[in-house]
Amino acid sequence: MGWWCIRVNMGIVCLLTMVWCGKGIGVNWGTQASHPLPPETVVRMLRENGIQKVKLFDADYAILKALGKTGIEVMVGIPNDMLASVGGSMKAAEKWVAKNVSQHISSNNVNVRYVAVGNEPFLETYNGSYIQITLPALNNIQSALIKAGIGSQVKVTVPLNADVYASSNNYPSGGDFRKDIFDPVIKIVKFLNDINSPFTVNIYPFISLYTDSNFPVEYAFFDGNALPLNDGGTLYYNMFDANLDTLTHALGKNGFGNLQIIVGEIGWPTDGDRNANIEYARRFNQGLMTHISGGKGTPMRPGPIDAYLFSLIDEDEKSIDPENFERHWGFFYFDGQVKYPLNLGTTNSGALVPAKGVHYLEKKWCVMKPTVRLDDPQVQPSVSYACGLADCTSLGYGTSCGNLDARGTFLMPLTAIFRRITSSKWPANFRMYR
Ligand SMILES: *[C@@H]1O[C@H](CO)[C@@H](O)[C@H](O)[C@H]1NC(C)=O
Ligand SMILES: *[C@@H]1O[C@H](CO)[C@@H](O)[C@H](O)[C@H]1NC(C)=O
C-alpha cells in the first residue's frame, strides 16, 4: 500500500493506492559559506528541482521565511553549542520553540516537521562533552513542542554519526550499539521509541574508503563489482545496505525493531581528496537515487528509505579540521550551478535545474610577479598567508588542482574572497591583477 501522485495546478496531491510515492529525496542545506546564495534563490532551486524535504543545521530566520508557504517539509536544527542551554532550562527550550518553530508555523506557514536536537553530538572529537546533555535537551524540546500545541506535527530527533553502533562479527547480524556509549544511546533510543519519533543516522561510505586504504572501493557503490558480503545467506552488495542493517539489527536486538529510521546525511564530496571527485560522486549519488527510488529498501528493512542528501551546495567556510573535502559535498557548486548530471527522480526532465539570477562579484586573480623565483624563501609563507584567507582545499595531493606548482597555485581564482584584504596587507611578492 502506498501513495499515487497526480500533478495538479495547486501542486502535488497524493492519493492512497497500490503504488508507492514517498516524499522523495531530501537535501541538507548548510550555510557556512563566504558568499551564500540568497535564501529565495535557494528555495526557488529546491522547488524547480522538485525537492520536497530540506534539513537545516540551525533555524535562520530569513531561510525559514523563504520556505514559508512552499509546502516543503523542514527539519530545523539546534546546534550542539545550544544543547546545554535548552537541556538545562525548560524556559530556554520553550523560548527556542516559540521563536524558531511556532512563530514560523503560525505566521508564515512553514511546514516544520522535525527538530534535530544537536548534530552528531556523540562524535568522538567532542570528547563526550555533549553526551549527558543530549537527552535532557530532547526531552525539554519535546515538552515545549507539546506545550505549544504542535507536538503532533513536529517531532524531535537527533542526527547521530554511524559509529554509535558497530558489528561484533563484521556482518549486519552482529550489530549493536557501541559499548562505551551504550547506556546514553539506549536511553535516547527508548525516548524516541516512546514518543514515536525517528532515529536519525548519518552514513558515509566515502569516509570508510578515506580512512581505510584496504576498503574495497567497489563495495562503496551501488553498481559496484565487489564480491557481496554473505551474512548467513543474506547477500549485501553495497556498504550502505550493510551499514543500515547493522543499525536495524542493533535496534531490534535491544527491543526497538519498529523504530523508524531517517538517513540524515548521505553523499560523496567532489574535491579535497584523491577519492573525492566528480565521477565517484556522480556514481555514488545516482546509484543511491536509483536504489531509493526502486523502493526495495534493505534486506532487514524492505520498503522506502527516508534520506537527505549531503549536500545541496558547497560551503567554502566549513571547518577543514576534519579534512579538506569538507568544503566540497554539494551536488551544486557554491553558486548553485550544476556539478554533474544527477537524476533525483523528482522532475519530468530528470535534469538538475541550476540557480537563477545569481549576482557575481568582479573576478580577480592573484598571480606571482614574473620576476620572483620559485625557490624564493618568501614564497611558502605567502602561499600559507593566502590559503589562510582563501579556500585552498583543491590544491592537495590527488585533488583537482593538485598538480600545480607555486606559480600555478597563485593562478587559482580567489574570486571575491580577497575583497576583504586591503592592498597594503598584500604580501610583497604578489600582485593582484584585475
Ligand atoms: C533561534 O535559533 C537561532 C539560530 O540557531 C538562535 O541563534 C537563536 O538563539 C534561537 N532563538 C532562541 C530564542 O532560542
Ligand atoms: C578533546 O581533547 C583533545 C585532547 O585532550 C583536545 O585537544 C581537544 O581540544 C578536545 N576537544 C574538545 C571539543 O573539547
Reported as a single tens digit per residue, the pLDDT across 245-256 is 999 999 999 999
365-433: what fold? Methane Monooxygenase Hydroxylase; Chain G, domain 1 (1.20.58)
Is residue 329 predicted with pLDDT exceeding 80?
yes
Indicate which atom in ligand 1 lies nearest the CA of residue 79.
5
d(CA 236, CA 298): 9
Kindly give the distance from the C-alpha atom of residue 125 to the centroid of ligand 2, in angstroms, as a whole number: 7
Is residue 31 predicted with pLDDT exceeding 60?
yes
- Residues 272, 323: contact at Cβ < 8 Å? yes
Q: Average pLDDT of the chain?
A: 88
Q: How many residues does the chain have?
A: 434
Reported as a single tens digit per residue, the pLDDT across 96-118 is 999 999 999 999 999 999 999 99
Nearest CA to ligand 1 atom 1: 100
Is residue 364 predicted with pLDDT exceeding 70?
no
Q: Which residues, at least 6 apart from 192, have a Cβ–Cβ distance to it below 8 Å?
A: 138, 156, 157, 198, 199, 259
Which residues does residue 53 pair with via DSSP β-bridges, in sequence order?
26, 73
Pairing relationship of beta strands 229-231 and 234-236 according to DSSP bridges: antiparallel
Kindly give the distance from the C-alpha atom of residue 154 to the centroid of ligand 1, in angstroms, as a whole number: 17
d(CA 143, CA 137): 10
Q: What's the grid cell of residue 267?
A: 553523499
Reported as a single tens digit per residue, the pLDDT across 50-101 is 999 999 999 999 999 999 999 999 999 999 999 999 999 999 999 999 999 9
Point out the ligand nearest to the CA of residue 115. Answer: 1
Point out the ligand nearest to the CA of residue 125. Answer: 2
Mutational pocket test of ligand 1: of 75, 95, 100, the residue with most ligand atoms within 8 Å of the beta carbon: 100
Reported as a single tens digit per residue, the pLDDT across 269-323 is 999 999 999 999 999 999 999 999 999 999 999 999 999 999 999 999 898 887 8
pLDDT of residue 23: 66
Nearest CA to ligand 2 atom 2: 127
Point out the ligand nearest to the CA of residue 103. Answer: 1
Is residue 343 predicted with pLDDT exceeding 80?
yes
pLDDT of residue 14: 41
Contact 99 CB / ligand 1 (< 6 Å): yes
Kindly give the distance from the C-alpha atom of residue 129 to the centroid of ligand 2, in angstroms, as a whole number: 10
Q: What's the grid cell of residue 166?
A: 558497530
Kindly give the distance from the C-alpha atom of residue 79 to the centroid of ligand 1, in angstroms, as a whole number: 9
Nearest CA to ligand 1 atom 6: 59
Point out the ligand nearest to the CA of residue 319. Answer: 2
pLDDT of residue 417: 41
Q: Which residues are catalytic?
A: 120, 265
Domain spanning 14-327: CATH 3.30.70.1560: no
Nearest CA to ligand 1 atom 12: 96
Instruction: Give the residue from 151, 163, 147, 141 showing the smallest Cα distance to 77.
Output: 141
- Residues 345, 402: contact at Cβ < 8 Å? no
Classify residue 60 as exposed, middle or buried by CB count within 10 Å of its CB (0-12, 13-18, 19+). middle
Is residue 9 predicted with pLDDT exceeding 60?
no
d(CA 107, CA 93): 20
Is residue 426 predicted with pLDDT exceeding 50?
no
Domain positions in the chain are: 14-327, 365-433
Pairing relationship of beta strands 229-231 and 73-78 according to DSSP bridges: unpaired
Q: Worst-scoring range by mean pLDDT, 83-87, 120-124, 181-185, 392-396?
A: 392-396
Q: What's the grid cell of residue 91?
A: 524556559
Q: Worst-scoring range by mean pLDDT, 51-65, 159-173, 411-425?
A: 411-425
Best-predicted range by mean pLDDT (7-11, 23-27, 289-293)? 289-293
Q: Which residues line ligand 2 (CB under 6 A)?
A: 126-127, 129
Nearest CA to ligand 1 atom 2: 59
Reported as a single tens digit per residue, the pLDDT across 388-411 is 777 788 877 788 877 777 777 655
Q: What is the mean pLDDT of residues 177-196?
A: 98
- Residues 44, 328: contact at Cβ < 8 Å? no
- Which residue did the predictor score with more confidence, 377 or 130? 130
Q: What's the grid cell of residue 156?
A: 524531535
d(CA 355, CA 313): 11
Nearest CA to ligand 1 atom 11: 96
Is residue 414 predicted with pLDDT exceeding 60?
no
Kindly give the distance from the C-alpha atom of residue 241 to the centroid of ligand 1, in angstroms, as a whole number: 36
Mutational pocket test of ligand 2: of 120, 125, 127, the residue with most ligand atoms within 8 Å of the beta carbon: 127
- Whether this prediction's pTM lies above 0.75 is answered by yes
SS (H, E, C) the chain: CEEEEEEECCEEEEEEECCCCCCCCEEEECCCCCCCCCHHHHHHHHHHCCCCEEEECCCCHHHHHHHCCCCCEEEEEECHHHHHHHHHCHHHHHHHHHHHHHHHHHHHCCEEEEEEECCCCCCHHHCCCCHHHHHHHHHHHHHHHHHCCCCCCCEEECEEEHHHEEECCCCHHHEEECHHHHHHHHHHHHHHHHCCCCEEEECCHHHHHHHCCCCCHHHHCCCCCCCCEEECCEEECCHHHHHHHHHHHHHHHCCCCCCCEEEEEECCCCCCECCECHHHHHHHHHHHHHHHHCCCECCCCECCCEEEECCCECCCCCCCCCCHHHHCCCCECCCCCECCCCCCCCCCCCCCCCCCCCCCCCCCEEEECCCCCCCCCCHHHHHHHHHHHCCCCCCCCCCCCCCCCHHHHCCCECCCHHHHCCHHHCCCCEEEEC
Per-residue confidence band for 349, with pLDDT thresholds at 50, 70 and 90: very high
Mutational pocket test of ligand 1: of 58, 78, 102, the residue with most ligand atoms within 8 Å of the beta carbon: 58
Kindly give the distance from the C-alpha atom of residue 118 to the centroid of ligand 2, in angstroms, as a whole number: 19
Nearest CA to ligand 1 atom 8: 96
d(CA 137, CA 216): 39
Contact 373 CB / ligand 1 (< 6 Å): no
pLDDT of residue 424: 37
Is residue 425 predicted with pLDDT exceeding 70?
no
Q: Worst-scoring range by mean pLDDT, 14-18, 155-159, 257-261?
A: 14-18
Is residue 418 predicted with pLDDT exceeding 50?
no
Contact 85 CB / ligand 1 (< 6 Å): no
